[in-house]
Amino acid sequence: MKRLILSFILAFFSFQMNAQEIALQLYSLRNQIPQDPEKYHQMVADWGISALEGLGRHEMSEFEYLKLLEENELEIVGVGADFNQLARDLNPIIAQAKLYGAKYVTCYWIPHEEGPISLDEIKLATALFNQVGAELKEHGLTFLYHPHGYEFAKAGNGVVMDYMWKNAENFAFNMDVFWVKMGGGDPLKIMKKYKGKFPMLHLKDRKIGTPGSMDGHGDVETNVVLGTGDIDISGIIKEAKKQGTKYLVIEDESSRSVEQIPQSVAFIKKQLEK
């Protein structure tokens, strides 16, 4: 009996450790937060979200912003990192992550000429990311890259991005399923092929009929409520549960984000209950 109880306790805590948490990329409220930071951070908490990616500090001091987060029981789980800053000096990035208690650092863009990125540029970025990832690990931080659709040009028997998926040794990925789809990739197939490399996901659905784009740009108004577009969000969440993806990050760049985010939260919760 004691062994049975112990097994149940271990299984319970294992589930708790691997359970997915809904988060919000604060870029979704980039137009609203400057108007009233207090109102919109409280609104996020009212939506049942406690984990945030990015900062919504606006003109507040760091002390004021930390206080606002604490008052609303919000935590910053991930911060952004500029590519050029990564190449110059990691200290400001490390300091910011530690100040807010973030565990993940994500680079969202690799500088390149307009259009698809080249294989040589991906190789250089991969080498840098492995170097950066190793150093950030020493500070208890996990480095992630966020594909943006310009990495899916043909290369050999695959695409340019294949090189980075295969050679990411000291970093993982914060995959934005919308942009991967825009570039011509299949986010679910990629997750299944490169298991364990996605501790965070940007969940963003795409309006049915939206044309693809391989330059990392697109109409933000094609962001729709999760589960209503042409991306298999339910399948992705199911796979995220299998792989133990920690954060399911809602990002809605449309002008309807305030109305759509609560609906997307409800959709994710329903999928997680299955």
Question: How many domains is the chain built from?
Answer: 1
Q: pLDDT at position 173, please?
A: 98
Query: Does the residue 38 lie in any domain?
Result: yes
Q: What is the pLDDT of residue 35?
A: 96
pLDDT in tens, 110-132: 999 999 999 999 999 999 999 99
pLDDT on residue 3? 53
**Span 41-78, pLDDT tens digits:** 999 999 999 999 999 999 999 999 999 999 999 999 99
Express each pLDDT in 11-30 by its tens digit.
444 444 458 999 999 999 99
Helix-strand-coil split of the chain, %, nearest 5: 45, 15, 40
Give the DSSP letter string of 131-189.
Answer: HHHHHHHTTT-EEEE---STT-SEETTEETHHHHHHH-SS-EEEEEHHHHHHHT--HHH
Residue 9 lies in a domain: no
Domain that holds residue 117: 19-272
Judged against a pLDDT cut of 70, whether residue 273 lies above it is answered with yes
Give the CATH number of the domain where residue 170 resides: 3.20.20.150
Alpha carbons 229 and 227: distance in angstroms, whole number: 6
Q: Is residue 11 part of a domain?
A: no
